Amino acid sequence: MLGGAHRLGGREGTSAKLAVTMYAIVTATLRHSPRCWTARRTATTIISGNKTSLQVRERLKRDVEKMGAQFPGFRPGLVVLQVGDREDSNLYISMKLKAAAEIGINANHIRLPKTATEAEVLQRILEVNENPAVHGLIVQLPLDSIHPMDTEKVTNAVAPGKDVDGLTSINAGKLSRGDLGDCFIPCTPNGCMELIRQTGVSVAGKKAVVIGRSKIVGAPMHDLLLWSHATVTTCHSKTADLAAEVGQADILVVGAGKAEMVKGEWVRKGAVVIDCGINHIPDSSKASGKRVVGDVHYPSAKERAGFITPVPGGVGPMTVAMLMENTVQSAERFLQTYQPGKWNITYNKLNIQTPVPSDAEASRSCSHKPIAQLAKEIGLLSTELDPCGETKAKVHLDVVKRLQKQPDGKYVVVTGITPTPLGEGKRTTTLGLTQALGAHLNTNAVACVRQPVRGPDFGIGGGAIGGGYSQAVPSEEVNLHLSGDVPAVIAASRLLSDAIDARLFHESTLSDGALYDHLVPLKKDQRKFSPAQLRRLKKSGIKKTDPATLTEEEVGRFVRLDIDPDVSAWGRGLDTSSQGQSPMEKRLTRAFSTSVASEIMAILSLTSGQKDMQQRLAKMVVATNQNGEPITAEDLGMSRALADLLRDAVKPNLIQTLEGTPVFVHTSPFCDIAHGNPSILADKIAMKLVGPEGFVVTEAGYGADIGLEKFCNIKCRSSGLQPHVVVLVATVRGLKLHGGGPTVTAGGPLPKEYEEENLSLLEQGCGHLRRQVQNARAFGVPVVVAVNVFPTDTDAELDLVCHAARLAGAFDAARCSAWAEGGAGAVGLGEAVQRAAEEPSKFRFLYNAELPITDKIRTIAMEMYGADDVELLPEAKRKVELYAQQGYGSLPVCMAKTPFSLSHDPDRKGVPAGFVLPILDIGVNVGAEYLYALVNATVAFPDWPRFHDAEADSETEPDA
């Protein structure tokens, strides 16, 4: 014998070096006679877990560096979740975090207090499961909580693909079946196998004994040895003649948790002994009074074993190393499908039919993904989603905060020529372009569109969610009330109307004291002002906060709003029928308006969040007092109630196109009286989700002269976002009408000029196209013209329009057949948009908001409409002076003008000239933060709606 053992990787003396040499000779000899290896060994080799773990960590460090070189900025992510503050757990966690840092793994420690409940722990696990930056999750055991914890339930809540501890039932099941390449192996058994491999001993054909049957060590160790072709016996506390079983083991793994239970004389000579135990026994020679030992009596066992692991310094370091190994392995699996900045998304295959069927038939011919699947594909967490059934969901606003460091994507706004009764297909183009960018050009793409309202659906307009094979689904639900946003706006509007009526009634029937008792009631012998009432006091010039200290005069000043019933400032909300007033309503002048024309809808569209929304609602001017001074929703104490009604409506709605690309449908402000764009919140969330190389395709209502102008001058001022590309939608038949073609009626037969080639008529109409390209370019953004193709268009006509668009200064022009072909029909448009987005954007506003009100109106009229000048009627002049005095003069201007002509006359098509734009009146939406100039008295819906003819679809809604 060479006398004594030596540590692998340690600093040995001469005898130790000789032992290594002799070991190499013996090992080489035994390779040719494996059955005799145990009998011939005379020296014990101590297997150093410290050295082996260091080798593993160095290898992993190189692997992580390779990942970073291949995918700049990428690092494997690890989270350790701890409940409570146990000292031993803290020690283990610090070791794991230190090892992760050395390797280059981005490790985070989440510590929940001892008061954490099981539900709270499960919620945090769910959040980590869904975080794509985390590839490994460890739940530190034991769970040190004052509340009952089901450890099995908690560990099984970890996603199997992130279960780097290998403790979930799924990973354990795969291991037991032998699916070693498709699971995570528990770290301690995995470390044991690595230590056995370090000995050079082949496991195949050997007799292995495992003492202990725990889920963490014994059971998985048995499976690993078995699938490595050993003959395995598992022993435990009930095993008869344990010493005899141990004496037969070529490989012995002990994880019983009992100090020095395996005696040296039990061990077969030359056996490999892996000791997983960590126990403390009394030792007066130690300062702590105790020392650490394993489950094997080390001094006697090392005299018989061929290889043995020390305690400490054996299996322990390997457990941490294998944890890091599993984390890196998880990251490598992630990278197999990872494309930097790209979603891992599946798209739906269209079942294209010719001729194109009805929109309803086209929608039903395609399968749709569950909305939870789509949300996950685009990077939303389940905690950021409120599903509304299987097809739609509300998205929480805090996703913007989570992704605040994520660069924004490319911002594309779709507008069009001045619309005609024939329809230009702007919404269809918007959705088709998004499908092309996503499903066909492999780019992250989200469409953001306005929400249809029941007015169009039950009026004459029909649905408004695209058409053919470029539409959003579920179309029926979207066209009705989706998730209830519009009904919420109507409810808020009517609540405000009721509050005004109630205040008028009470102020006319109650004394100041009685009003005060109602507004500031006595509760438990005390009165208390609400936050809104404190602001009302400040506005009234009363510098008191104690309700008991107000004088009679101050009480009267506080409670009396003195609303003038003859001045209408707030309309009662409707959504389908005509505006007007019942003859029965004699007491109060009350106008009626649609929900989409309400300032509440405009605020919902322009707000940046819940807090901002309430502040904007508070500022709304809802009435006028007898002195002509404005009365706000805050004066009525209504802002909190209104915000509560809208707390869900402020969240964007997620749906999908027929091809499975994401669509945000949110808010529906009209473009004649409001700004006519989808919500800022939808755009901002989408911009974060798509990432810097992705595209957000949003829309602007009506033509470039109205919708795009308001998008840039109103919405972009509020949001801070700037478009990279403008897509201008045009049609051959629409341009023919602008060229002097005969009048058409929606739904009626088309004159032959629109169904046959007529290049001269089309050439005249291209003057209107040139004007709208000029309007779009006025904002300093590249313009791509999308020619929406209809079956009656000829190649010569389409070529003419594209040529005219380029001559007018468009960056490019492309045919778009998205209605008939889905995203495939808009690929050319998508490629043109991608090229245009690479051009430098020199975005600019049309006017400086600090200009006088009249100058802003004049700039819009002359630059966008081609007017010679503007004429302010007496009421408009009075309002200009009033609003300038009230401090509203620096707000942007929203023009309320007919959308059917560049001028104020809807019958003047083409490029009207030589006209002066009349301004009938000017109003202010203080909460929405814009002035609106009334050019036309716009009627949004007809007097007689279509809801009388509506019937259920028996094919999709069978009887119960």
Distance CA 271, CA 248 (A): 9
Helix (H) or strand (E) holding 656: strand 653-657
The whole-angstrom separation of Cα 576 and Cα 456 is 8
Cα–Cα distance measured from residue 671 to residue 11, given in angstroms and rounded to the nearest whole number: 82
Contact yes or no for 397/412 (Cβ under 8 A)? no
Contact of 600 with 649, CB cutoff 8 Å = no
The residues annotated as belonging to the active site are 96
Report H helices in 540-652: 552-559, 599-606, 610-619, 639-645
Omega within 30 of 0 (cis) for the link into 142? yes
DSSP state of 296: B
User: Across 244-384, where does the E strand assignment appear?
Assistant: 251-254, 272-275, 279-282, 290-293, 307-308
Q: What is the pLDDT of residue 30?
A: 34
Residue type present at position 113: P
Q: How far is Cα 817 from Cα 791, in angstroms, rounded to an integer?
A: 9
Quick one: tokens of 429? 């183009």
Tokens coding 495: 């609540």
Which tokens sit at 190?
């995995």
Residue 234's SS3 state is: strand
Q: How many CA atoms lie within 13 A of 173 on its CB side?
A: 5
Evaluate whether 207 touches 248 at the Cβ level (below 8 Å).
Answer: yes
Chain segment 681-699, per-residue pLDDT in tens? 999 999 999 999 999 999 9
* Phi, psi (degrees; rounded to nearest 5) at 499: -65, -40
Sign of the CA dihedral running 262, 263, 267, 273: positive
Question: Rounded to an integer, what distance in angstroms lies between the CA atom of residue 422 and that of residue 246?
Answer: 89
Q: Is 935 helix (H, G, I), strand (E, B) or coil?
A: coil
Read off the tokens for 700.
């602007």
Residues in the chain predicted with pLDDT less than 50, given as ranges, are: 1-41, 455-462, 575-592, 939-960
- Provide the token pair at 606: 């322009």
Q: What is the pLDDT of residues 327-383, one digit of tens each?
A: 999 999 999 988 888 999 999 999 999 999 988 888 888 888 999 999 999 999 998
pLDDT value at position 35? 37
> What does the alpha-carbon distance between residue 260 and residue 294 come to, in Å, rounded to a whole number?
6
How many other β-carbons are positioned within 10 Å of the β-carbon of residue 889? 18
pLDDT, tens only, 799-831: 999 999 999 999 999 999 999 999 999 999 999
User: Tell me: the pLDDT tens digits for 865-908?
Assistant: 999 999 999 999 999 999 999 899 999 999 999 999 999 999 99
Joined tokens for residue 952: 């259920």
210 touches 218 (CB < 8 A): yes
Cβ contacts of residue 757 below 8 Å, gap of 6+? Answer: 794, 796, 797
- 80 three-class SS: strand
Q: Can you tell me whether residue 593 is helix, strand or coil?
A: strand
Starting at the earlier edge strand, list the strands of the sheet with 136-139: 106-112, 77-83, 136-139
Q: Where in 228-326 does DSSP place strands (E)?
A: 231-235, 251-254, 272-275, 279-282, 290-293, 307-308
DSSP-assigned states of every residue in 502-570: HHHHHHHHS-HHHHHHHHS--BTTB----HHHHHHHHHTT-----GGG--HHHHHHHH---B-TTS--S
The C-alpha atoms of residue 45 and residue 316 are separated, in whole angstroms, by 18
Tokens of 574: 């409707």
Which value, in Å, is the radius of gyration of the alpha carbons in the chain? 37
